[in-house]
Amino acid sequence: MHINRTWKILATAAAAAVVAVPVAAFAHGGSGQDDRTDAAKHAIVGGKARNVIMLLGDGMGDSEITIARNYQVGASGRLAMDTLPLTGEYTTYAVQKADPTKPDYVTDSAASGTGWSTGHKTYNGAISVLPNGDPLPTILELAKSAGYKTGDVSTAEIQDATPAVLVSHVTDRSCYGPNTMGPCPTNATENGGAGSISEQLVKTHPDVVLGGGSTSFNQVIKGGADVGKTVFQTASASGYQLVSDASGLAAANLNKPILGTFAPGNMDLEWVGPTPTATGTPASTCQVNAARNPAQPHLSVMADTAIKALDKQSRGNRKGFFLQIEGASIDKQDHAANPCGQIGETVEFDKAIDVALDYQKQHPDTLVIVTADHGHTSQIVAAGSTTTGVTATLVTHDGAPMTISYATTPFPGSQQHTGTEVRIAASGPQAANVLGVTNQTDLFFTMARALGLHV
Ligand SMILES: [Zn+2]
């Protein structure tokens, strides 16, 4: 009785706090206590979409979402990503390179990204090529050829697996620039190939590219028509405005192609906090990362700019745009067993989702998809407990302790991806195709159908 009353008071307080969160909470589905039958029927829309905005939280499994929700808005609160009306799960497995008839149960972002961007399963490390190395057309390339404007945004170096699978085809994900083509000899321009991920990105030429990764663009091309030039020089010659900081991005001409690289490698983290240990940590909170370079735009700002630019560039056309937005460092901070790093990136990714949902309110002919590419390590365990790995305890929005465990690799080694299915949620035309249990390869066909592409 007493416990029950306390719970109700806490729940009411949390619900009141949620109202202040600037997200469209329950905008589509209503609360769980209402009959949502009509809302669900209303959310199912067939036909074509003018625009597709796909948002991918790298390594953002259900556990990572729950951790960020508990911390930021409380257990009964809802993030922007929780308000999408139609939700399913998809399987993420890769296939074995030596025997592609056999699954590789734990995927990386390259194989999973090849899956959702081309509709084909491949091996870990492959960037939009089949296990035999043959290139596969990607959703971005197909959308571009069909007359849509296209964009690719990430907080990682833009050559990282998720942004790379949309714009390039190499046999190994590490082939970022002309100087790092060792693992991809057949793709190197000096051997007659199409070049590194950076070189192919420029040739594919999405209308908006924003992220980190300037290092590889500064490398000199070693073969083909552009031999002797840096990749940046070819980008500039091909019509890109090159921007390198937030003020440059704010001043960019949104009517023209933009290549923004805001860091030599990955972009800086939003938050910092306690390092987990084998014996746990005192309960504490996350802090804004004071060392973050303020000249780097936040992901939500990059998302807003990309949407505005693609909207402008496609104005007056029946065909709008395809845009991918990745919150990349959720995965990277899960690998690093850094709970506040991971949560800060998830919260900023959620702000980018909010930007996309705001655009969709004004442009309902937009399909918005929020998903992940694979599961990851972090788990919520009993408050204050220790595990065979390392734990840290945070005080959440609820004012309650939440203990997070990282235990897939002995600390401080890089924590591992996991083979679980992950959430896929959507709203807009064709969103019903995420319902139930699908495969990450099915997402390619859902997006292609929404855009009316022939595949
Ligand atoms: Zn990873």
pLDDT in tens, 272-302: 999 999 999 999 999 999 999 999 999 999 9
Token pair for 447: 């997006």
Q: How many other CB atoms sit within 10 Å of the CB of residue 365?
A: 15
Is the confidence at residue 393, as pLDDT, over 50?
yes
pTM: 0.93
More confidently predicted of 130 and 2: 130
Q: Is the dihedral of CA 180, 185, 187, 192 positive or negative?
A: positive
The tens digit of pLDDT for each residue in 227-264 reads 999 999 999 999 999 999 999 999 999 999 999 999 99
The tens digit of pLDDT for each residue in 48-86 reads 999 999 999 999 999 999 999 999 999 999 999 999 999
CA of 418 to the centre of ligand 1 (A): 10
The tens digit of pLDDT for each residue in 91-104 reads 999 999 999 999 99
User: Average pLDDT, whole number, for the chain?
Assistant: 94
Question: Does an H or E element contain 309, and which?
Answer: helix 299-313
CA of 246 to the centre of ligand 1 (A): 27
CA of 333 to the centre of ligand 1 (A): 9
CA of 336 to the centre of ligand 1 (A): 10
- What was the pLDDT predicted at 25? 37
Is the confidence at residue 10, as pLDDT, over 60?
no
More confidently predicted of 161 and 32: 161
Q: What is the average per-residue pLDDT within 338-359?
A: 98
Q: What is the DSSP letter of 285?
A: -
- What was the pLDDT predicted at 399? 98
List 127's β-bridge partners, or say none.
Answer: 170
- Catalytic site includes residue 385: no
CA of 326 to the centre of ligand 1 (A): 13
Question: Does an H or E element contain 287, and which?
Answer: strand 287-288
CA of 417 to the centre of ligand 1 (A): 6
Is the confidence at residue 1, as pLDDT, over 70?
no
22-28+48-451 to CATH, choices 3.30.750.210, 3.40.50.2300, 3.40.720.10, 2.60.40.10:
3.40.720.10
What is the rounded CA–CA span in Å between residue 149 and residue 307? 11
The tens digit of pLDDT for each residue in 299-328 reads 999 999 999 999 999 999 999 999 999 999
Token pair for 371: 């998903």
Is the confidence at residue 19, as pLDDT, over 50?
no
Residues comprising the chain, all counted: 455
Q: How many other CB atoms sit within 10 Å of the CB of residue 309?
A: 25
CA of 181 to the centre of ligand 1 (A): 21
- What was the pLDDT predicted at 33? 87
CA of 58 to the centre of ligand 1 (A): 7
Contact 260, 275 (CB under 8 A): no
Query: Residue 30 — pLDDT band, cuts 50, 70, 90?
Result: low
* Residue % of the chain over a pLDDT of 90: 92
CA of 271 to the centre of ligand 1 (A): 19
Catalytic annotation, pick one of 109, 154, 378, 405: 109
How wide is the angle at C-alpha 454 spanned by C-alphas 453 and 455, nearest 5°?
110
Is the confidence at residue 17, as pLDDT, over 70?
no
Ion ligand 1 — residues with CB under 5 Å? 331
Query: Residue 32 — pLDDT band, cuts 50, 70, 90?
Result: confident
Q: What is the average per-residue pLDDT within 140-160?
A: 98
CA of 363 to the centre of ligand 1 (A): 34
Is the confidence at residue 14, as pLDDT, over 60?
no
